[in-house]
Amino acid sequence: MGQGIVKNLLNSGHVVTIWNRTPRKCRDFVEAGAIQGQTPSDVVAAADVTFSCVSDPQTAKELVFGNCGVLKEMKRNKGYVEMTSIDPQTSQDVAEAIQAQGGRYLEAPVLGSKQPAEDGMLIILAAGEKSLFDDCTSCFKAMGKHAFYLG
């Protein structure tokens, strides 16, 4: 799903810095105008808001807590939006770590699959810091047909 999300962000005029565990998957997006980071921390350093959409909760935790992970560059007022469907404990662990660094956190899992992601038709269900949700409005419009703030 991440590939569809990146495509729609680029097509809507957003500046996008990307990273993937499989670097060759970035090639087409770099050719389309994305900037490729070498690590997750590179993405955080380059962006005001970082979106994570990976395959499972363990991978989501590794991106945040791992070597050269998100926390290395998380600073005051930077935003982190977790779009992976994760369990409540993982979300709480990630939120606390991001906030301890001064960052803002939003859990925003999506309803949809690869084709709705390609078509920009995802449904985004968000919870966390309202100011971050508001800051992500243009990104959410590029990614999906509806974004709901749940509290």
Which of 63, 45, 46, 66 lies closest to 54, judged by CA? 63
Cα 127 to chain center, whole Å? 14
Q: Domains in the chain: how many in total?
A: 1
Determine the pLDDT at residue 2: 85
* Residue type (1 letter), 64: V
pLDDT digits (tens, 9 = 90+) for 103-117: 999 999 999 988 889
Residue span of the structural domain in which 128 resides: 2-149
Question: Is a pLDDT exceeding 90 seen at residue 80?
Answer: yes
Determine the pLDDT at residue 45: 97
Rounded to whole angstroms, what are the CA distances from 88 to 7, 21, 93?
29, 24, 9
- In the numeric block, which tokens belong to residue 32? 């389309």
3-state helix/strand/coil string of 20-83: CCCHHHHHHHHHCCCEECCCHHHHHHHCCEEEECCCCHHHHHHHHHCCCCHHHCCCCCCEEEEC
Q: What is the mean pLDDT of residues 106-130?
A: 94
Question: Is a pLDDT exceeding 90 seen at residue 1?
Answer: no
Instruction: Return all residues near 96 (Cβ < 8 A) that are at least 6 apart.
Output: none
Mean pLDDT, all residues of the chain: 95
- Give the DSSP per-residue string, 67-93: TT-GGGT--TT-EEEE-S---HHHHHH
CATH number, domain with residue 136: 3.40.50.720
The pLDDT confidence band at residue 87, using thresholds 50, 70 and 90, is: very high
Q: What is the pTM of this model?
A: 0.95
- Asked if residues 43 and 50 have their Cβ atoms less than 8 Å apart, the reply is yes
Apex CA 80: angle with CA 78 and CA 84, to 5°? 175
Among 83-87, 96-100, 115-119, where is mean pLDDT lowest? 115-119
Q: What is the mean pLDDT of residues 125-146?
A: 97
